[in-house]
Amino acid sequence: MQQDISFSSINPLKIKSFFRKLSAISDSYSDKEHYVDDFGIQPKKYEGPYTKAETPLRERIKQLEEDLLKVSEERDIALEENRKKIDELNITLLSVRETLEKLRKAKERKEKRIRQLEEKINKTVKVRSHIPSH
C-alpha cells in the first residue's frame, strides 16, 4: 500500500531549511567521493579511542572480517580445484569419445569386410553348383 507524502501541514521555512541542509550534505559527500576518485586517496578509518562498549564490538567486527577473508580464500581455492577437476574430466571424456569413435569405425570396417567375404563365398558356391560334374 502506497502513501502520498504531503508537506501541507509543515512550515515552508522549515522545509526550505531541511532541503538546504540535505543538499549541503549531499554536495559534501559528492565532493569527498570526487577527491577520493581523482587522487586515489583512501578514506581514513577511525582508529579510536573507543569507548568500553565499542571495544568488544570492534574486536568482533575485526574477527568477523578475518573469518570472511579466510572463508572467501577457502572458497576460491575450492573453486579452482573444482575447475581443474572439471578440465581433467573433460579431457578424459574427450579421450573416451575418440576411442569409441575409433572402435566404431573399426567395427564398420570389419563388418564391411565380412559382408564382402560372404558375398564372395556365395558367388563361389553358386558358380560351383552350376558347373556340371565330370
15: helix, coil or strand?
helix
Is 110 found in the same domain as 57?
Answer: yes
Is 68 found in the same domain as 101?
Answer: yes
What is the count of structural domains for the chain? 2
Whether residue 56 is preceded by a cis peptide bond, meaning omega within 30 degrees of 0, is: no
Is 38 found in the same domain as 17?
Answer: yes
pLDDT score recorded for residue 9: 74
Q: How far apart are CA 86 and CA 89, in angstroms?
A: 5
Residue 4 placed within a domain: no
Is 62 found in the same domain as 125?
Answer: yes
Task: From 95, 96, 92, select the one nearest 84 (Cα to Cα).
Answer: 92
Is 124 found in the same domain as 71?
Answer: yes
The per-residue pLDDT string of the chain (134 residues; one tens digit each, 9 = 90 and over) reads 456 666 677 777 877 787 787 777 776 666 666 666 666 666 666 666 777 788 888 889 999 999 999 999 999 999 999 999 999 999 999 999 999 999 999 999 999 999 999 999 888 877 666 666 65
What are the start-end ranges of the E strands in 41-126? none
Is 68 found in the same domain as 97?
Answer: yes
pTM score of the predicted model: 0.44
Residue 3 placed within a domain: no
pLDDT score recorded for residue 22: 76
Is 79 found in the same domain as 34?
Answer: no
C-alpha gyration radius of the chain:
42
Is 16 found in the same domain as 37?
Answer: yes
pLDDT score recorded for residue 111: 97
pLDDT score recorded for residue 113: 96
Torsion, Cα 35 38 41 46, to 10 degrees, reads 30
Is 121 found in the same domain as 67?
Answer: yes
Is 74 found in the same domain as 39?
Answer: no
- Give the residue numbers spanning the domain of 33: 11-43
